[in-house]
Amino acid sequence: MDEEPPSNRNALLALLVVVALVVAGFWISRVLRDADRTEDCLMRGGHNCAPLDSTLRR
């Protein structure tokens, strides 16, 4: 009987899923942190609270 060695495909796929979830978690936390800072600025009555996107210049 020739048995094939165990495949690492499932382990690699699981690792990729975990890495994708970690990256998505960091991205979501960054977006929420920026939104929280903007909201805090607006609640204090600040002006020009939103960051400007400099890539839109002509």
Q: List pLDDT tens digits, range 9-51.
A: 889 999 999 999 999 999 999 999 999 999 999 999 988 887 7
Give pTM, 2 decimals: 0.64
User: What distance in Å separates the CA atoms of residue 58 and residue 51, rounded to the nearest whole number?
Assistant: 18
User: What distance in Å separates the CA atoms of residue 34 and residue 51, rounded to the nearest whole number?
Assistant: 9
What values do phi and psi take at 53, rounded to 5? -95, 105
Top pLDDT among 29 and 54 is at: 29
pLDDT of 30-41, one tens digit each? 999 999 999 999
CA angle, 21 then 29 then 12, to 5°:
15
**Dmax (CA) of the chain:** 77
In the predicted structure, residue 5 carries a pLDDT above the cut 80? no
